[in-house]
């Protein structure tokens, strides 16, 4: 009986074995029809993607290309990278055979024979590698800012093996984009930017770059998500892709299947240091805007509203009388800035900018930064539950940042005598004595917090001793009683919370709205 069972199992196994190849073959055929063939596209695009080798002053060079000590291929990569770095550190790029090896072979040959030579460099420099792509046939290349950060020597390796010295055109840390230039003796194959706004989740995406120094590597995936905020800068709006991106891919392009650049590969999420299918790319529309400014001016020129923005949470929105949290909440207006001149006030919620809807503060930061400096913009705001349209002439962010520099924010030495107990806080009137004790800004008005209960809602919201409440319930505060009155009125109106405008440590330049629940 056991023998018969074994025979039956064997026969069944043979039957399955005979059937499976047909099924696998059919599945493979269907899969082959579904997957795109990118061989021709890759062949066309590869010459436009470059390897970048950098000698940097930074001890924390982000594009270190060596794998971890636990990697089984570590010895192979160490030897490979050593050869690549030795090639990149030669005094001169390769010369064409048959020409005088002591002369420059570029279009400016004879004018400056030593233009591709480097002065002796200190041994303490860090060698790193990254990627880039050509956007102008005359030698303009886009990469990541962190690839060339603190660089003293930048080399570009073309697909045909040519090695060229590069110079920095401009860089922008806020978006991690940089532009460099080489001087080739012939036109280079350039790529074009696509419209990243049209890229959809699930569309195919092709990444080309220089992972671990392995130049000309191609990987295929999809656009996995849009609008990712990875807390790397004020304008985070990354594509997420599962196309393989590793160390050394930074600065390389992410293409759509039309061969258009839709992003610049910038970061990965990886516990291991290698690709786990979660990579992030800066959208091409933002890249193009920044690159154009860097090429034209050598620096960025972003629009500036002159406001401090705060995330509009549901409880703060309720305190403002809004049914739903949408828009960008203004916590403070910079004195002398564009918004103050246009009549914008703290507590306004911006819901529209230059004809575009504003969903949140992140959206507003990006579209303001991309707007033209000096342009008059219509800004739609919600104020006291009503829509208003104001006209603001945009300033320049780079100049506005200096104007809006934070004032002295020293913390208070000791609390002042108590006056009123409100929502887990002790509130005091502002007097000459309390101003001196807490080292307050002379311009600040309101009531000061002299104590905060550790288990109270105020403490949960981050309020602290020395903070000053300048508005409560939508009305200015001149003393502690105004705060108590606002709380009492909110209770009478049946509200769940009361909205307060608070200056941290009494600093008029560091204010935010806080919605305090009336019942714990």
- Could you tell me the two tokens for 336? 């002398």
Residue of 374, 406, 414 lying closest to 392 (CA atoms)? 374
Cα separation of 235 and 237, whole Å? 6
Give the span between the Cα atoms of 395 and 374, in whole angstroms: 6
Instruction: Choose, from 176, 237, 242, 441, the residue flagged as catalytic.
Output: 176
What are all long-range contacts of 486-490, with beta carbons under 8 Å and residues at least 24 apart?
Answer: 487/422, 487/423, 487/518, 490/518
The Cα-based distances of 20 to 8, 17, 27, 34, 316 in angstroms read 18, 5, 10, 21, 61
Q: Which of the following is catalytic: 56, 219, 250, 281?
A: 250
Dist. CA 387–CA 162, nearest whole Å? 60
Nearest to 421 by CA among 447, 464, 451, 445: 451
Which residue matches tokens 């919370």? 497
- Helix axis angle, 361-370 relative to 284-297, nearest 10°? 40
Q: Establish whether 146 is a catalytic residue.
A: yes
C-alpha distances in angstroms, 119 versus 102, 113, 163, 380?
17, 14, 17, 56
* Rounded Cα gap, residues 238 and 285, in angstroms: 11
Told to judge if 108 belongs to the known catalytic residues of this protein, a careful annotator would answer no
Dist CA 122 CA 137 (whole Å): 34
Alpha carbon distance 125, 153 (integer Å): 10
SS3 216: coil
Number of other CB atoms surrounding residue 452 within 10 Å: 21
465: how many CB neighbours lie within 10 A of its CB?
18
Count CA atoms closer than 13 A to 404's CA, side-chain side: 23
Catalytic residue among 53, 146, 315, 510: 146
- Catalytic residue list contains 176: yes
In angstroms, rounded to a whole number, what is the distance separating the alpha carbons of residues 491 and 409?
A: 34
- Provide the annotated active-site residues: 146, 176, 250
């Amino acid at each position: 009986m056991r023998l018969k069972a074994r025979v039956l199992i064997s026969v069944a196994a043979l039957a399955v074995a005979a059937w499976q190849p047909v099924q696998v073959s059919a599945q493979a055929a269907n899969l082959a029809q579904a997957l795109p063939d990118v061989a021709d596209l890759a062949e066309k695009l590869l010459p436009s993607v470059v390897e970048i080798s950098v000698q940097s002053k930074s001890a924390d060079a982000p594009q270190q290309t060596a794998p971890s000590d636990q990697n089984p291929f570590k010895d192979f990569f160490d030897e490979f990278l050593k050869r690549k770095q030795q090639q990149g550190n030669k005094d001169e790029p390769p010369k064409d055979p048959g020409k005088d090896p002591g002369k420059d072979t570029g279009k400016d040959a004879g004018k400056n024979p030593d233009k591709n030579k480097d002065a002796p460099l200190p041994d303490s420099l860090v060698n790193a590698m990254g990627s880039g792509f050509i956007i102008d046939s005359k030698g303009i290349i886009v990469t990541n800012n962190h690839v060339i950060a603190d660089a003293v020597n930048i080399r570009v390796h073309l697909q045909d093996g040519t090695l060229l010295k590069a110079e920095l055109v401009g860089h922008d840390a806020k978006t991690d984009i940089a532009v460099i230039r080489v001087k080739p003796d012939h036109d280079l194959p350039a790529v074009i930017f696509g419209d990243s706004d049209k890229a959809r989740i699930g569309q195919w995406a092709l990444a080309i770059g220089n992972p671990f120094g392995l130049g000309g590597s191609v990987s295929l995936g999809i656009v996995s998500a849009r609008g990712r905020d990875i807390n790397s800068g004020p304008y985070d709006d990354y594509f997420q892709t599962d196309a393989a991106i590793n160390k050394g891919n930074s600065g390389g392009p992410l293409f759509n299947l039309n061969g258009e650049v839709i992003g610049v590969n910038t970061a990965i999420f990886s516990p291991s240091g290698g690709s786990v299918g979660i990579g992030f790319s800066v959208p091409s529309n933002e890249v193009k805007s920044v690159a154009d400014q860097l090429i034209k001016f050598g620096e960025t020129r972003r629009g500036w509203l002159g406001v401090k923005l705060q995330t509009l949470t549901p409880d703060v929105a309720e305190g403002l009388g809004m049914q739903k949290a949408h828009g960008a909440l203004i916590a403070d207006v910079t004195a002398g800035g564009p918004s103050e001149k246009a009549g914008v006030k703290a507590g306004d919620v911006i819901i529209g900018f230059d004809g575009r809807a504003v969903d949140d503060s992140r959206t507003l930061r990006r579209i303001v930064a991309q707007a033209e400096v000096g342009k008059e913009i219509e800004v739609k705001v919600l104020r006291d539950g009503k829509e208003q349209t104001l006209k603001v002439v945009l300033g320049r962010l780079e100049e506005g940042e200096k104007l809006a520099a934070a004032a002295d924010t020293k913390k208070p030495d000791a609390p002042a005598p108590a006056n009123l107990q409100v929502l887990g806080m002790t509130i005091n009137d502002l007097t000459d004595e309390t101003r001196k004790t807490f080292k307050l800004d002379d311009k600040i008005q309101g009531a000061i917090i002299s104590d905060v209960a550790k288990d109270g809602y105020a403490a949960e919201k981050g309020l602290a001793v020395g903070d000053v409440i300048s508005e409560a319930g939508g009305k200015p505060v001149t003393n502690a009683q105004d705060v108590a009155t606002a709380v009492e009125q909110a209770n009478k109106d049946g509200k769940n919370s009361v909205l307060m405008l608070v200056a941290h440590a009494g600093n008029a330049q560091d204010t935010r709205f806080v919605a305090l629940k009336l019942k714990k």
